[in-house]
Amino acid sequence: MALSSKIIGVGSYVPPKSYTNFDLEEMMDTSHDWIVQRSGIEKRHWVEDECTSDLALQASLKALKAADMSADQLDMIIFATISPDHEFPGTACFLQQKLGISKIPAIDIRQQCTGFIYGLSMADVYIKSGQYKNILLVGAEVHSKGLDKTPNGRAISVLFGDGAGAVVLTATKDSGIFHTELRADGNFAKELWTPAPGSALGKERISKEILDKGLHYAQMNGKLVFVHAVKRMSEILVESLKKSGFSLDDVDLFLFHQANLRINNKVAEVLNIPEEKVFNTIQEFGNTTAATIPLGMDQAIKTGVLKPGMLVAMAAFGGGFTWGASVIRF
Ligand code: COA
């Protein structure tokens, strides 16, 4: 029987301090009502001084514990983040060191809000090929240190939170990941992006002028992103279910990226998915980019919503534009 890959451990971590919309009213010219009505977000966690690999370490240790595995049994680390510890090397190397292991490959990927789905696809292919048996896949972000927390940044800064989620995948002969479908369209790369630092900015990757212009802060065409997110996530969910041999009705739980509650409600409406089958966490955590889906998975387990044997469909959309979906037997 052919090899399959299965998630056997899930863990997550958010920094202890949370900020309500009312706290943000004190920093930015915003209001609780505006944020809740437009996005569904009520609060988010922001670090005091931790960095991305610190959050990732906590989530990874929990995922390893849930998998009943020690770090030295891992064959590879895949780390999705757009808020790395440093410019280079990748944060996967820092995480590897903090886990007390060495030698195994440690890969960073970006892929923004679709980072976890892209990472899942990579892990699945490595495992199915027989090259690696046990893979740690982590999504972690410290957005708060890169947000403009003045009224100038309010359109973006109210949406993002810090957090980490991790899963351990292993080779199995049972059913695990059925199919993961990935897409990207670079024609929209500048509709949701952080321009600096970068080699396309002129003579310097970073300069006082670049900082003065605020090019190191994320920029977004919110309405365009919204429309594409609904369309692309709906399309790719249906496609990946079809390629997995299932229908929407077969799915027990949908784990969507959490960029905006209205996006997820709209996807559910378009596809006629009952509300109770969609597990949302944005109210509590905001958008944690690559951490969102594994963080949601862990919350779903902790609250008894996600149980072994369930058919789970995941979908995400983000900067790039990138989008993807995965269908798994949990
Ligand atoms: N608080 C209060 N007012 C705000 C605000 C804030 N935090 N941010 C923007 N506003 C104001 C704007 O200045 C604008 O005012 P005006 O009408 O006087 O010009 C008004 O609110 C409407 O802004 P707009 O940007 O048109 O709102 P919107 O309805 O498009 O909602 C988003 C904004 C960002 C919530 C929405 O577009 C969205 O969720 N898009 C997708 C985001 C996303 O998915 N991002 C992550 C990608 S994975």
Alpha carbon distance 317, 114 (integer Å): 6
pLDDT value for 174 = 87
Parent domain of 241: 179-329
- Statement to judge: residues 101 and 190 lie in one domain: no
- Statement to judge: residues 227 and 185 lie in one domain: yes
- Statement to judge: residues 290 and 247 lie in one domain: yes
Residues 6 or more apart in contact with residue 91 via CB below 8 angstroms: 52, 53, 56, 79, 81, 84, 85, 108, 140
Alpha carbon distance 173, 171 (integer Å): 7
At residue 329, does pLDDT exceed 70?
yes
Give the DSSP letter string of 200-252.
Answer: TSSS-SS-HHHHHTTTTS-EE-HHHHHHHHHHHHHHHHHHHHHHHT--GGG-S
The token pair that represents 327 in the structure block:
């269908």
Q: Give distance in angstroms: CA of 28 to centre of ligand 1.
A: 14
Atom of ligand 1 nearest to the CA of 192: 47
The token pair that represents 110 in the structure block:
């970006």
Q: What is the CATH number of the domain that holds 136?
A: 3.40.47.10
Alpha carbon distance 139, 117 (integer Å): 10
The token pair that represents 303 in the structure block:
């609250």
- pLDDT, one tens digit per residue, over 168-196 is 999 999 889 999 999 999 999 999 999 99
Atom of ligand 1 nearest to the CA of 260: 39
What pTM was computed for the model? 0.97
Q: Which of 116, 143, 174 corresponds to the end of one domain?
A: 174
Just list the catalytic residues: 113, 257, 287
- Statement to judge: residues 22 and 142 lie in one domain: yes
Give the percent of the chain with pLDDT over 90: 98
- Statement to judge: residues 185 and 127 lie in one domain: no
pLDDT value for 175 = 85
In DSSP terms, 180 is beta-bridged to: 326
- pLDDT, one tens digit per residue, over 193-225 is 999 999 999 999 999 999 999 999 999 999 999
Q: Give distance in angstroms: CA of 65 to centre of ligand 1.
A: 40
SS3 breakdown of the chain: % helix, strand, coil, rounded to 5?
40, 25, 35
- pLDDT, one tens digit per residue, over 12-50 is 999 999 999 999 999 999 999 999 999 999 999 999 999
Nearest-CA residue for ligand 1 atom 10 is 155
For the chain, the average pLDDT equals: 97
Atom of ligand 1 nearest to the CA of 155: 8
Q: Which of 38, 185, 267 to mutate to test the pocket of ligand 1 (most atoms within 8 A of CB)?
A: 38
Give the DSSP letter string of 254-303.
Answer: EEE--S-HHHHHHHHHHHT--GGGB---HHHH-B-GGGHHHHHHHHHHHT
- Statement to judge: residues 320 and 300 lie in one domain: yes
Q: Looking at the 3D structure of the chain, how many domains does it have?
A: 2
Nearest-CA residue for ligand 1 atom 20 is 155
Nearest-CA residue for ligand 1 atom 35 is 38
Nearest-CA residue for ligand 1 atom 2 is 30
pLDDT-derived band at 1 (thresholds 50, 70, 90) equals: low
- Statement to judge: residues 75 and 35 lie in one domain: yes
Distances (CA, A) of 92 to 29, 82, 180: 37, 12, 22
- Specify whether the CB–CB gap between 50 and 291 falls below 8 A: no
- Statement to judge: residues 165 and 267 lie in one domain: no
- Statement to judge: residues 109 and 225 lie in one domain: no
Q: Is the dihedral of CA 87, 92, 97, 98 positive or negative?
A: positive
How is the beta sheet containing 76-80 ordered, strand by strand? 4-13, 163-172, 134-141, 76-80, 106-109
- Statement to judge: residues 200 and 325 lie in one domain: yes
